């Protein structure tokens, strides 16, 4: 394997580990009745920061909107889960931007 392939594999493994850890922490928080409004605010802030640079992922804003709708309808668990996913996407988009140097999301 070439050096660039090794880097790619390392990045994929890092992203997988990161997603696994954040998934476990969000499950723990949501089972404890985590504050969906705080998670929505956290997701919005992360999204706004990456969106300013043009590196936001396509669905992140929609997830935040869905989380707000679920919160308004009283479904705090679903709102928390959607906001958590939006936060993870914004965080991963930021990491992707740092690693790619291009500042734009990469697509297949």
Residue ranges per structural domain of the chain: 3-100
CA distances from 63 to 46, 80, 84 (A): 13, 11, 9
Give the pair of three-digit tokens for residue 9.
């594999």
Query: What is the CA angle 77-28-49, rounded to 5?
Result: 75
Q: Ranked by mean pLDDT, which of 24-28, 52-56, 97-101 comes out on top? A: 52-56
User: If you search the block for the tokens 């969000």, which residue do you land on?
Assistant: 26
pLDDT digits (tens, 9 = 90+) for 22-38: 554 555 454 444 699 99
Q: Which of 14, 95, 85 is nearest to 43 (CA)?
A: 85
């Amino acid at each position: 394997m070439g050096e660039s392939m090794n880097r790619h594999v390392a990045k994929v493994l890092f992203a997988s580990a990161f997603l696994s850890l954040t998934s476990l922490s969000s499950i723990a928080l949501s089972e404890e009745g985590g504050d969906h409004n705080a998670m929505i605010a956290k997701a919005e802030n992360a999204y706004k920061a990456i969106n300013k640079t043009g590196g936001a992922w396509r669905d992140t804003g929609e997830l935040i909107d869905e989380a707000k709708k679920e919160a308004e309808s009283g479904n705090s668990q679903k709102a928390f889960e959607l906001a958590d996913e939006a936060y993870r996407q914004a965080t991963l988009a930021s990491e992707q931007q740092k690693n790619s140097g291009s500042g734009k999301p990469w697509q297949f």
